[in-house]
Structure 1
Amino acid sequence: MSDALWSVWWLWIAGALALGVVEMLLPGFIFLGFAIGAALTGLMLLAVTPSLPVLLLVFAALSLAAWLLLRRSFALPTGQVKTFKDDING
């Protein structure tokens, strides 16, 4: 295994946990996609250790896929519009 910091699997898992905490503080399903991507990248590093460009490409692809799945699963049903019953100003 390489001694490079980016190839250490548990650092990716720790980063995923940190991004999960950030998602709890600033909800919006943006950081959660990155957290899932980092966790899956860390798990992948248990089996193989690719070069840095390949690893970053895998992280980006997994994060995008996770974000798209989250967006699809938490989106409003088709044709439904978000409405507000109460005005916070009055």
Structure 2
Amino acid sequence: MEYWQMPWIWVLAGVILAGAEMLIPGFIFLGFAIGAVIVGALIWIGLLGNSIAVTLVVFAVLSIIAWLALRKGMGVRKGQSKLWDRDINEN
């Protein structure tokens, strides 16, 4: 069994990416973390794991879907804008 076929490696990668999200917030790594954990679950169930190309495409698609869902659910709200009350070049 190749290392990319082991579900615990995908779940561990997801946990590491979720930890990176805590250090660098912005919902960047969290989408990848969710994608990795779901891929690990799919490999564990037996739905993935025969081809690395298919596994990586599924990981990419799931990560994009998770990122878009996070962005829609927790991102910038409609109509929200940043108000600047002073210019950084003014002294």
- 1:80 corresponds to which residue? 80
Deviations 1:26-83 (A, max 9, x none): 1110000000000000000012223110000000000000000000011232122133
TM-score with structure 1 setting the length: 0.86
Displaced runs of 4 or more, over 4 A: 84-87
1 CA distance for matches of 2:24 and 2:4?
26
1 CA distance for matches of 2:23 and 2:78?
29
Structure 2: which 5+ runs fail to align?
A: none
Structure 1: which 5+ runs fail to align?
A: none
Q: Which amino acid aligns with 1:69?
A: A
1 CA distance for matches of 2:73 and 2:15?
22
TM-score with structure 2 setting the length: 0.85
Q: What is the root-mean-square deviation in Å for CA atoms of aligned residues?
A: 1.9
1 CA distance for matches of 2:83 and 2:37?
35
Q: Which amino acid aligns with 1:30?
A: I
Could you say if the C-alpha distance between residues 84 and 73 of structure 1 is closer, same or farther in structure 2, counting changes exceeding 3 Å? Answer: farther
1 CA distance for matches of 2:12 and 2:83?
39
- 2:11 corresponds to which residue? 13
- 1:34 corresponds to which residue? 32
Q: Which amino acid aligns with 1:26?
A: I
Equivalenced residue count is 87
